[in-house]
Amino acid sequence: TFCRLSRLDAISWVYLGLALQAEGVNPLLDLGGVVDVEDYSAMLSALDDGTCDVGAIPSGTLAALIEATDGVTEDEILILSSTIPTIPHDILIAPPDESIPPDIIQSFVSQLLSLQGDDDFSDALQLLIPYDQIIEVRALDFRRFLSWLDDAGWAMDQ
């Protein structure tokens, strides 16, 4: 039985479903059952008490979750660590047809990058574009992610 937060949760279902599919496991047909839990602490409790056999949590959160979950210790949880490819979130893109000149695009990108580190403007930028980090990327930076989606049989044009 598989634990998830909901059918829409990115970490515990969507991304993990893609990872399973990339390994040839259909998350909709091949799992013994799916149980929705309230939060990641509830997921650890369900794993501990046998309600669930498998679950996925965000990277780097296990220690804090164990500390916040009564009665669960790391010794009781089998940890299979797997890192999925970097998944692009909240991407600002420019049209590929050069309707915006490349030098204007580059200037815009440079300004965004400089504003995030500027104490006078970073708060205003955070209100405009909520972010954890702004980085410049190119299409080639997503090769591993796109290959992973391809392995999962996920067509981006669907």
Cα separation, 124 vs 126, whole angstroms: 5
How far CA 64 is from CA of 58, 71, 139, in Å, comes to: 11, 13, 35
Amino acid, single-letter form, for residue 149: L
Q: How many residues does the chain have?
A: 158
* Reported pTM: 0.57
Residue-wise pLDDT tens for the chain (158 aa)? 889 998 888 888 888 888 888 888 887 788 788 899 999 999 988 988 889 888 888 877 888 888 887 777 666 566 655 666 666 666 777 777 678 888 888 898 888 888 888 888 888 888 887 777 787 877 777 777 777 777 777 665 54
